[in-house]
Structure 1
């Protein structure tokens, strides 16, 4: 061994293991879990605004409760809730199945759960998507307009066995009631980036998680 090699300090096994753990943790932080909220960047051109972690978790817990064991959940234009649901499903939560109906084809990376969806063609769905085949449907129409909500409502009514959650602006309250018979809840959805619009949650069933005292607002 040369003199220069003798001068190089040697790490103990314990120090080396700690260093390797440190690098592994930092790599994990730089590489988001594939179903984590925010794993894909928002595309504002598609009117995408991801929910906050707390909102995504609250909505996913509500959907799991309403779907029941081995139930089926559809998320229409709500990728961040789908992602939070998949985190629970991968942990063995209730054995439910979840489908994501979404225009953004980046989410096709999630495999068979992804169903390409264009709200302009509300009933143009794959043949395997059967009418009234989901125990509960969550929808978040991309635009605050009567035209958009009315078309998304057609999809929701086609998919749902009955239970519907809707997240959209407060200005859409009367339209939402007319189209889906949903009532405004006390639960206030929050986004990762604050929106200027008053955003609300609606349901067509009594929800103790989303409504104070189990009733509508």
Structure 2
């Protein structure tokens, strides 16, 4: 006969679930602490040029009007979008595909990505994302072609590409992307004119 004065005991399953819950809470708190800090400095050797706040907010606004609750979003080589997307689209899954491992603080949302191996992607992400936004690191045909290969592999139907104006014809040829009225801007002005391309109408969302 059990003693009524004995403290209640958790089952092994309940205890394990409780541990997992606390682990997830710790991870979320740790991620929020890191995200509240400054974004890593640009590494020009990696051709990194961060968006200014207006561009980040505009792309987030477009994304909000492009997806529904529960949808999945991939950000390819545009890490400065991650924090705002994570905060503002918290009803969606947001993954960052990025070469710079300084952004591995994004935890399970970080997927190491090297455009030189465009299809070296976990199989479960094939045709997985409802919206894919990409900003290839280099203004070259090779880089754009390989990045588009990744976009096609992981995306379903909606694509947004931010890149130089000189890539317009190739972007249209590879993925039927057309220039929009939105022009991304960077914190440090670039010599090359940038445009935003998409395969659906985002001008109405601006």
TM-score bracket, shorter-length normalisation: 0.7 to 0.9
Match of 1:35 in 2: 35
User: Any idea what the Cα deviations from partners look like across 1:93-148, whole Å, max 9, x if unmatched?
Assistant: 4x10100000001111110000000000000012332x111000000000011100
Listed as ranges, the matches of 1:13-32 within 5 Å are: none
Equivalent of 2:138 in 127, 138, 143: 143
| C-alpha distance in 2 between matches for 1:166 and 1:140 | 6
Match of 1:162 in 2: 157
Alpha-carbon spacing, 1:38–1:200, altered in 2? closer, same or farther (3 Å): farther
When the two chains are superposed, the root-mean-square deviation of aligned CA atoms in Å is: 1.6
Match of 2:112 in 1: 116
| Contact 1:67–1:135 (8 Å) recurs in 2 | yes
Gap runs ≥5 in structure 2: 1-31
How many residues get paired? Answer: 174
Alpha-carbon spacing, 1:169–1:68, altered in 2? closer, same or farther (3 Å): same
What's the TM-score, normalizing by structure 1? 0.76
Match of 1:29 in 2: none
Listed as ranges, the matches of 1:122-133 within 5 Å are: 122-129=118-125, 131-133=126-128
| C-alpha distance in 2 between matches for 1:150 and 1:36 | 35
CA shift, 1:180, in A, is 1.0
Secondary structure of 2:107's aligned partner: helix
Match of 1:85 in 2: 85
| C-alpha distance in 2 between matches for 1:37 and 1:156 | 30
Secondary structure of 1:70's aligned partner: coil
CA shift, 1:65, in A, is 1.9
